[in-house]
Structure 1
Amino acid sequence: MTNYILRRLLASVLILLGASYIVYLLIAYSDDPLAELRASNDPGKQAKIATRTEMLNLDVAPPLRYFIWFRGAAQCVVPFVGKCDLGVTLQNQPVTAALGAAIPTTLRFVTAAVLLAIVIGITIGVITALRQYSTLDYSVTFVTFLFFSLPVFWVAVLLKEFGAIRFNDFLADPYISNTAIAVISVVAGLLWAVIISGTWRSRGIAFGIGAVVTGVVLYSLSATRWFTTPSLGVVVIALTGVAIAYGATALLAGLQNRRALYSSLISVALAVVAYFVAAPLLDIASVWTIVFLGIAAVVVGWLVGRFMGGFDPAQSAKSSALTSFAVAGLVLIDRFMQAWPEYFKITRGRPIATIGSETPNLKGDLWVTGLDSFTHVLLPTLALILISVATYTRYSRASMLEVMGQDYVRTGRAKGLSERVVITRHAFRNALIPLATIVAIDIGAIIGGAVITERVFSWKGMGQLFIQGVLHVDPNPVMGVFIVTGIAAVTFNLIADLCYSALDPRVRVKA
């Protein structure tokens, strides 16, 4: 396996070298970086031309100039060679400093978009595969093909218009008209009718219940002006926690494992108690406090499951830990919501941001600054998710359908294994093998989409740095972005290879 990894690394390095050489030449030959100065009427333009020529080594031919750049770039990856040097921009700013400011900005929403797209897309794909040729399957197929065909810049512009500008206008007077409530209720009822499988009678009941519940909820939100002072409250947290407990138990242990179910429900009860006990601590919390409380929630849930035991204590512990973590997340969301009125006032009634990655000169505690980060990252992340989810949904559905027809799946059912065990332990794991490749490739595609998304939402990340370098014929920042994205692509492809060996033991044998 070690030889296999070394071979892949060597091949990846050679590909990076060749690609970087081509990209550098394309940028260098695209235009003259001194054209703006030559057209200037500035009396000192000759001195400026000489300075820029010396600074960027423009007196050296681009094929040879690449090796000057490469000598400094090699110091970034080879230890104990020297200081990392990726050159300077036209503004005489070190590229390393520019990347240091741009990378965290881009990673803020790219990381969230990748993780959410993978989880949501694979989940939907597996569900539609298990419900093949159902109304849900046809509906999801239509929606995914629709989103897959949409250009990311158009999606981003629509989100700015309807998700930010018009929603902010709505927040000025958050009243939902009866007509809007009726339309949304009907749509929600149709969605539940599509999701629920069974006879037309059961679907009609699902439509009626879904429409009525949605209408009541929307009317209550409008009447109580919930959008100006939002909160979940202990009742919603408790009811949602019970639903999570049943779902986690059904997924990880099966509802027939009563000890696992009771462990999860006990975790919900403990989380409700912690909602009141931890309130004073959350008011003065820091990031590390939140991390510690999250770890504590998982540990407590695990211990509850182990204490309850049952015929498989590990299943009880996993279900309880997952439930405890999820409900702790609900408590955290509720605490952020409590800071909404203050943040709403700070932003002068326009909380959903359309430009930038943060509000300038914002002052506030952890909860206010957290809300600010969320409202700025929300729409760019959503734009990338909508495009990427379609890809993961289609591939995961196709992979799951192929696996479900294999002999070992039929053998598992013939042995009397439950459908949950057949799907989660046998089919799902093997369905992930081809998806590992898709994830590795899609990382680069999402970063490429981030270039356009950053442009639409005016984020000063790697996309902005790349565009400015291309527009001003500045190879150094373009190459800096290329190196970061290239190394990321190589890394994730190597991770995909390691995932192959974890998911399929035959890969280790062949390697």
Structure 2
Amino acid sequence: MATFVIRRLIASVFVLLAATYLMYNLVALSGDPLEELRQSTAPNKEQLIESRTRLLNLDVPPPLRYFIWFGALLRGDFGVTIEGRSVNALLEQALGSTLQLVTISTIVAIFLGLIVGITTALRQYSGYDYSVTFVSFLFFSLPIFWVAVLLKQFVAIGFNDFLQSQSQLPLVAVAIIALVSGALWASIIPGSTKRKAITFAIALAATAGILTVMNLTNWFSYPALTIGGVAIMGIGAAFGFTALITGLKNRRALIAALIVAGLGIALYYPFQFSLSFYVTEWWMLLGLAVLTAIVSGAIGWFAGGVDRGPVIRVAIFTGITTAFVIALDRFMMVWDDYASSGRIRGRPIATIGASTPNLEGSLWVEGVDIYTHLLLPTLALILISFATYTRYSRASLLEVLNQDYIRTARAKGLSERTVVVRHAFRNALIPIATIVAFDIGGIVGGAVITERVFGWTGMGQLFQNGLEDVDPNPVMAFFVVVGGLAILFNLIADLVYAALDPRIRVN
């Protein structure tokens, strides 16, 4: 394993060297960085030209100037921009902003894409499968800038107008959403026509009831989950993760998950009205998440008996989900304060930028502000990536389900959950690992257009400004980061292959 990793890293270094040499020369030879000064009418024009020439070593030919840049890179210095600003400082700020954007969108797209792709494979040729296929190809064919414009118009501007005008869904909208929900669940749940009709009626009634309650409580202006919503989602997570990972027949796993959910519900009021006021930094919130995982794992360990591994996983997933819902409800509590503040003026969904300038407030207000600015660009990236993950995961699982060992597992009398989760799903992830590795490695570079549309100050702006100014240093900083991530995640993909399939050996 170590030999393989070292060999791949050495080969990757030579590839990156050749790529950076070519890229540096293409940028340097694409224009004249002194053109602006040559056309200037300033009395000290000659001094300015000489100063910039010395600053950027413009008196050295680009093929040789690359080695000056590379020598500085070995010391961890990306150089300075054409205006004399440190590229390291700009890169640190831009990379943090872009990673904040792409990390959330990538995780959500992978999670939703895998779930939807797997369910469509299990419900092949159903109405649900055809609908998801149509939507996936639709978003896959749309350009990202067009999706971004549509989101700005109908999600941001439309929702902000909705909050200011009425903040309650009209009855026609409630009826349409309820009918769509009923049809969706009826297409997902397998069975006879009678069972589908019952599913349709239950989903329609439940959706209509929830939306009616939201209208009556003015939920869109004052959102909240309350302890009732936390209890429903926590207990639902306990049953859901138990059914998925071990099956409901495993009483130890179900009891451990219910204990974890019950503990979260019991801590709801102490956290919301006491402990949350002491959480003033993001690392504190992250620390609480780690503590939740540790406590949940300990409960699973004590309740697990002989086979502790699956029980611990069920308990941890349930604990993290319950804690997330509690934290989400805490953010919802400050929504009205945020939306009605002088900086927001009743239009909370932002269409440009990464944050609201000069906004003051607690960690929870800051979190809501980050959410409102992340919403549109994250949705744009999710919709495009979601289509890819859905199609690949569906095709991969269908291929695995037709293998001989799957038929053997079913012939042995194993339950369908065991066949799909323990035998098919793991092997279906092998080709998906390649797609995920390529996407994660390249998504920092792929978010350039999205950042441009939404005015996001990140890696895209650093790259574009460098190209416009014929300034190789910021362009190369962008290129090194994107290339390094691509190499790293392709190496990780190779290692994941060996972890997913014992037949694959990394040597």
- TM-score, with length taken from structure 2: 0.95
1:283 aligns with 2:277: yes
Whole-Å Cα distance in 2 between the matches of residues 160 and 401 of structure 1? 37
What is the aligned partner in structure 2 of residue 36 from structure 1?
36
Paired amino acid for 2:289: G
Post-superposition CA distance 1:307-334 (Å, at most 9, x none): 4446634333322222122111111111
3-state secondary structure, aligned to 1:176 = coil
Post-superposition CA distance 1:92-129 (Å, at most 9, x none): 11111110111100000111111111111112112212
Match of 2:231 among 218, 231, 238: 238
Contact kept, 8 Å, 2:442 with 2:485, in 1: the verdict is: no
Whole-Å Cα distance in 2 between the matches of residues 329 and 440 of structure 1? 27
1:21 aligns with 2:15: no
What is the aligned partner in structure 1 of residue 52 from structure 2?
52
Match of 2:412 among 412, 415, 419: 415
Unaligned runs of 5+ in 2: none
What is the aligned partner in structure 2 of residue 294 from structure 1?
289
1:200 aligns with 2:193: yes
What is the aligned partner in structure 2 of residue 9 from structure 1?
9
What is the aligned partner in structure 2 of residue 376 from structure 1?
373
What is the aligned partner in structure 2 of residue 79 from structure 1?
none
C-alpha deviation, 1:343, in angstroms: 0.8
After superposition, the Cα gap between the structure-2 partners of 1:341 and 1:97, relative to the gap in structure 1 and judged at 3 Å, is: same
3-state secondary structure, aligned to 1:364 = coil
Paired amino acid for 1:66: Y
3-state secondary structure, aligned to 1:505 = coil
After superposition, the Cα gap between the structure-2 partners of 1:9 and 1:247, relative to the gap in structure 1 and judged at 3 Å, is: same
Query: Pairwise mapping of residues 295-444 of structure 1 onto structure 2 (< 5 A)?
Result: 295-309=290-304, 312-346=307-341, 347-444=344-441
Paired amino acid for 2:7: R
After superposition, the Cα gap between the structure-2 partners of 1:313 and 1:22, relative to the gap in structure 1 and judged at 3 Å, is: closer
Paired amino acid for 2:295: V
Match of 2:136 among 110, 126, 144: 144
Contact kept, 8 Å, 2:300 with 2:312, in 1: the verdict is: yes
Post-superposition CA distance 1:214-250 (Å, at most 9, x none): 2222222222211121100111111222221111110
Whole-Å Cα distance in 1 between the matches of residues 411 and 306 of structure 2? 23
What is the aligned partner in structure 2 of residue 247 from structure 1?
240
Whole-Å Cα distance in 2 between the matches of residues 403 and 18 of structure 1? 39
3-state secondary structure, aligned to 1:458 = coil
Size of the aligned set, in residue pairs, is: 502
Contact kept, 8 Å, 1:257 with 1:310, in 2: the verdict is: no
Paired amino acid for 1:425: R
- TM-score, with length taken from structure 1: 0.94
Whole-Å Cα distance in 2 between the matches of residues 88 and 240 of structure 1? 51
Contact kept, 8 Å, 2:264 with 2:319, in 1: the verdict is: yes
Whole-Å Cα distance in 2 between the matches of residues 4 and 388 of structure 1? 31
Q: For the aligned residues, what is the CA RMSD?
A: 1.7
Contact kept, 8 Å, 1:106 with 1:462, in 2: the verdict is: yes
Instruction: Indicate the larger mover: 99-108 or 171-180.
Output: 171-180
Whole-Å Cα distance in 2 between the matches of residues 283 and 312 of structure 1? 40
Contact kept, 8 Å, 1:260 with 1:310, in 2: the verdict is: no
1:270 aligns with 2:263: yes
Post-superposition CA distance 1:419-442 (Å, at most 9, x none): 222222222111111222111111
Paired amino acid for 1:31: G
Match of 1:107 among 85, 99, 108: 99
Whole-Å Cα distance in 2 between the matches of residues 306 and 6 of structure 1? 37
3-state secondary structure, aligned to 2:29 = helix
Whole-Å Cα distance in 1 between the matches of residues 194 and 325 of structure 2? 35
Whole-Å Cα distance in 1 between the matches of residues 407 and 300 of structure 2? 32
Whole-Å Cα distance in 2 between the matches of residues 317 and 21 of structure 1? 50
Whole-Å Cα distance in 1 between the matches of residues 116 and 219 of structure 2? 30
3-state secondary structure, aligned to 1:254 = coil
Query: Pairwise mapping of residues 168-183 of structure 1 onto structure 2 (< 5 A)?
Result: 168-172=160-164, 173-183=166-176
Post-superposition CA distance 1:46-91 (Å, at most 9, x none): 221111112111122111211211111122xxxxxxxx22121111
Contact kept, 8 Å, 1:249 with 1:260, in 2: the verdict is: yes
1:155 aligns with 2:150: no
Whole-Å Cα distance in 1 between the matches of residues 496 and 304 of structure 2? 32
Whole-Å Cα distance in 1 between the matches of residues 289 and 60 of structure 2? 56
Unaligned runs of 5+ in 1: 76-83
Instruction: Indicate the larger mover: 34-43 or 450-459.
Output: 34-43
After superposition, the Cα gap between the structure-2 partners of 1:8 and 1:18, relative to the gap in structure 1 and judged at 3 Å, is: same
Whole-Å Cα distance in 2 between the matches of residues 248 and 233 of structure 1? 22
